[in-house]
Structure 1
Amino acid sequence: MSRPAWSEVPKPKVERFAAIALAEAADLAQAILREIRCDFPELRLVEDESGEPMALVGIRRAIEAFVQHLASGVADPRVPPEVFQEFGRGEGLNGRSLDSLQAVYRLGVRLAWRRFAKIGQQVDIAAPAMYELAESGFEYLDGLVEQSVRGYAEAAARQAGERLRLQRQLIDRLLSGQRGDTAHTLGERAARIGWELPAVVAVGVLIRPAREAVAPALGQGILLDMESEQPRMVIPEPDTAGRADLVRRATTGWSGAIGPSVPLAAAATSLRWAETAVRLIEDGLLPRGEVQHCIDRTEELVLLPSRELIEAAAPRCLTPLQGVAPAQARRLAATLLAWIETSGGAPEVANRLGVHPQTARYRLRQIRELWGDAIDDPDRRFEMLLVLRTQRLCGELPTRPD
């Protein structure tokens, strides 16, 4: 930026101003540091290898760079980046915001300006030029803040990456099913990421809606591993009021499943059921577009993973239907299932199927003729119940036959 008033200051005055300011830079830096320590006693000052506070080094370098800029007429002073980036990193690594650091910088600039104003009077530099010097000083401050922001962002990213790494390790330990880790060991691992070990957990497995899908905003309390092909989440105390709604809102648009609530030591069991449900979703046997709760899908999770075995038993269980036309066999199978499920007569069966009681009565007589007394064997009925419910879940048997 053009500085017309400062550019009109005679060169000897500029040189004298710079010489005095540079000669006093060390003392001015010490004075500024004393004020900073007085006004910000909580600020942690890191020392370099020689034991000198890095803040003192940074302040002195910043003063010298600014004065050299004034003396040389260079458009923009070179901000010494290393020290100020380190200040920003320190604030980030210690979990503080940049507000206090910026307040420190403003204090430093204000004190430096007071001293420069006195030197300006001593050298007899006109007021308009000194006003421009003050404006230039605050622009210089912006550069220092920018360097600190870079360091802060770097530290924040490093911390976030480290937390994610530790979080994935903890999730792996919790879900491994191994007995090697004691509660104390797990507690230490959890404490490193600020997570309190819960008594009960539920484990979820997600299916990405897209490869670059943004991670669900589950909050700090729920552990999330997005590095896995199918993201995993560990939900502490899942029955806490409002937690299910939080997870539901956060996972809108995702598919997946959440296993049953189990003691922390049995987290692998919850994972296993969630993975089973996800396989059923991928096979088209459970709906996509939502995150299922395994306890709401007990029938599917018990029967469908065993469907190959159950299907193998179907011909033996349903042998009497082999000589019946396919459409009629489906109607009789649905009627048989309704009869077993209701343990009632024709009215109950008719109500379940949505047909006329006389129709239900006719079909029940056919079933009795086909199976005879075998239909009264509880073991046979239970086996038929498994087979017929599995067929209905697979869409092979309508709830309301034609």
Structure 2
Amino acid sequence: MTRLAWSEVPRSQVERFAAVALNESADLAETILRQIRHDFPRLRLVDNESGEPKALVGIRRAIEGFVQHLTADAAAPLVPSEVFQEFGRGEGLNGRSLDSLQAIYRLGVRLAWRRFAEIGQQVDIAAPAMYELAESGFKYLDGLVEQSVRGYAEAAARQEGERLRQQRKLIDALLSSRHTDPAQALRERAARIGWELPATIAVGMLIRPAPEAVPPALGQDILLDMESEQPRLIIPAPDTPGRADHIRRATLGWTGAIGPPVPLTAAPASLRWAESAVLLIEDGLLPGGEVQHCTDHTEKLILLPGHELINATASRSLTPLQDLRPAQARRLADTLLAWIETSGGAPEVANRLGVHPQTARYRLRQIRELWGDTLDDPDHRFQMLLVLRSQRLRGELPDCTD
């Protein structure tokens, strides 16, 4: 700011003003702190190594820094940055907002300016020049606030970093298959981040859309571990109304899976289902581009991951098909699955397959010839049902259920 009126004040007057103000800086600081303590009775003051309140030291240094620059040919007063950054850090570490601290600063500047105005009259400095000095004082206040905001942000980042560290520890404890932490230890871990242990949870696993993807904007009560290669999340009370919609909105653009709701102690089981679903997504057997719920894909999650076992079972329960031509074997497999699923005769099978009843009847006779009395064994039919549905899920058989 160009201070035209102040620049015209004779240097002798400026020096007299500065001398009086500096001489009174200690008493003025005491007066300001006393008023602050009166107006803010809950303010917690911390002493330095000498037993002097740090706030008092800060006020005195702020006054002295502002006054000294008037005679030092400096463009702007030097803000005692470390002192006021520490004030900001203190507010942040104690969980308070900066509003009260800024109110305290404004009170201090108002009281200081009241005394400066009196000193200006004593040394005959013209009012316009003092108005400009007041503007400079409030600009100086902005600098003090800026330093406190910096300290506050530093403290907030440190606290958030510590919270995330404790949160990851809690997630690891909940998902540990060994359950080394007893219930009381889990409660204590949860209390450190203000998280109440729920009765039921669901565990999710995400696939990053990009290395530097912005984390999903999930609610505070949903635990999220972004440090893992595949981020994990723990959802408390997953059946709460609106919870699924919130997660869907928050994870737009992400791919992943959420395991079934389970009791808190069964969290590793929910994670295992989520991991299985993610593997199926990566193999293209479940849709990507969104976060899937395992309970929406029960059949696929049960049948598809165990394809080695299914294939071994198929070689035994579908042995009669092995000697047939591939096209014929496929047609009979389609018909066999339709017959097991409908528990009906040729008309029901024909309707399901979209073929003529006579065609269905012919195929059913072939199936009876191939398998004989084995078809009357419920356990064997169930095995064939599992094998054939697994093949259909993998696209090896057409889906006739639509």
Secondary structure in structure 1 of the residue aligned to 2:144:
helix
Contact 2:201–2:235 (CA under 8 A) maintained in structure 1: yes
Instruction: Give the corresponding residue for 2:90.
Output: 90
Instruction: Give the corresponding residue for 1:388.
Output: 388
* 1:308 and 2:300 aligned: no
Instruction: Give the corresponding residue for 2:208.
Output: 208
The one-letter code of the counterpart of 1:32 is I
Give the aligned length: 401
Instruction: Give the corresponding residue for 2:116.
Output: 116
The one-letter code of the counterpart of 1:336 is L
Contact 1:29–1:59 (CA under 8 A) maintained in structure 2: yes
Shift of 1:196: 0.4
**Counterpart Cα distance in 2 of 1:250 and 1:182:** 32
Q: Which residues of 2 match residues 138-217 of structure 1 at below 5 A?
A: 138-217=138-217
State the Cα RMSD in Å. 1.4
**Counterpart Cα distance in 2 of 1:118 and 1:8:** 19
Q: Which residues of 2 match residues 354-373 of structure 1 at below 5 A?
A: 354-373=354-373
The one-letter code of the counterpart of 1:135 is E
Instruction: Give the corresponding residue for 2:353.
Output: 353
**Counterpart Cα distance in 1 of 2:114 and 2:359:** 102
Deviations 1:102-125 (A, max 9, x none): 111111111000000000000010
Contact 1:334–1:399 (CA under 8 A) maintained in structure 2: no
Contact 1:202–1:260 (CA under 8 A) maintained in structure 2: yes
Deviations 1:67-118 (A, max 9, x none): 0011223111110001100111111111221111111111111100000000
Contact 2:173–2:179 (CA under 8 A) maintained in structure 1: no
Deviations 1:298-347 (A, max 9, x none): 21121112111211222222222223221222121011011111212223
Contact 2:173–2:180 (CA under 8 A) maintained in structure 1: no
Instruction: Give the corresponding residue for 2:125.
Output: 125
Contact 1:65–1:78 (CA under 8 A) maintained in structure 2: yes
**Counterpart Cα distance in 2 of 1:231 and 1:54:** 44
Secondary structure in structure 2 of the residue aligned to 1:205:
strand
**Counterpart Cα distance in 2 of 1:153 and 1:130:** 35
**Counterpart Cα distance in 2 of 1:319 and 1:357:** 26
Secondary structure in structure 2 of the residue aligned to 1:305:
coil
**Counterpart Cα distance in 2 of 1:352 and 1:51:** 89
Deviations 1:231-267 (A, max 9, x none): 0000001011111111111112211111111111111
Deviations 1:195-224 (A, max 9, x none): 000011110011111111111111101000
Shifted more, 361-370 versus 184-193: the winner is: 361-370
Percent identity over the alignment?
79
**Counterpart Cα distance in 2 of 1:289 and 1:359:** 42
Q: Which residues of 2 match residues 218-297 of structure 1 at below 5 A?
A: 218-297=218-297
Shift of 1:9: 0.9
**Counterpart Cα distance in 2 of 1:358 and 1:115:** 108
Runs of 5+ consecutive residues of structure 1 not aligned to the other structure: none
Runs of 5+ consecutive residues of structure 2 not aligned to the other structure: none
Contact 1:13–1:125 (CA under 8 A) maintained in structure 2: yes
**Counterpart Cα distance in 2 of 1:110 and 1:353:** 88
**Counterpart Cα distance in 1 of 2:132 and 2:260:** 69
The one-letter code of the counterpart of 1:61 is R
Shift of 1:362: 2.5
Deviations 1:345-371 (A, max 9, x none): 223223332333333223222211222
Deviations 1:149-191 (A, max 9, x none): 1001101111111100000000000000223212111111101
Secondary structure in structure 1 of the residue aligned to 2:322:
helix
The one-letter code of the counterpart of 2:96 is R
Instruction: Give the corresponding residue for 1:100.
Output: 100
Secondary structure in structure 2 of the residue aligned to 1:292:
strand
After TM superposition, the score normalised by the length of structure 2 is 0.97
Secondary structure in structure 2 of the residue aligned to 1:323:
coil
Contact 1:170–1:186 (CA under 8 A) maintained in structure 2: yes
